[in-house]
Structure 1
Amino acid sequence: MSRLTEEERNALPDEAFALPGRRYPIHDAAHARDALTRASAMLHEGHLSQTEYETVVRRARAVLGED
């Protein structure tokens, strides 16, 4: 997965992120898969609520065509 530069991240529309606050970019399949992995870890560490986790999963799977 390529790392987003600050300029590239800022150029993405809000819809390219799974959560408000421009968290979890999911503009392509690689980033969607990464969001799924990171969201799972953050849920288990207590940094995401169950609702936020489910939102990331739903939106990332949509990008991956797994809805």
Structure 2
Amino acid sequence: MSKLTAAERDALPDSAFALPGRRYPIPDATHARDALARASEMLHKGHLSQEEYATIHSKAEDVLRRERL
């Protein structure tokens, strides 16, 4: 898993996060794949709603699609 330092995370625009509150950073494909895995885990534990999971999934897939081009 790729780590973001606090400074790197703070420097990201809000659009680089899947959820409000700067949750689930997805600035690149590595973080997008990690967000998908963590979101699935959190959904099954009851910490995310289906709507939040769908938002994360959609935004992460967009990042992965762009990386493939």
Q: Give TM-score scaled by structure 1 length.
A: 0.95
1:1-67 correspondence to structure 2 within 5 Å: 1-65=1-65
Inter-partner Cα distance in structure 1 for 2:2 and 2:26: 12
SS at match of 2:59: helix
What is the identity percentage for the equivalent residue pairs of Structure 1 and Structure 2? 70
Residue 12 of structure 2 aligns to which amino acid in structure 1? L
**Runs in 1 of length 4+ with deviation above 6 angstroms?**
none
Give the structure with the larger helix fraction: 2
Residue 37 of structure 2 aligns to which amino acid in structure 1? T
Inter-partner Cα distance in structure 1 for 2:10 and 2:31: 15
Inter-partner Cα distance in structure 2 for 1:47 and 1:34: 16
Q: What residue ranges of structure 1 are gaps of 5+ in the alignment?
A: none
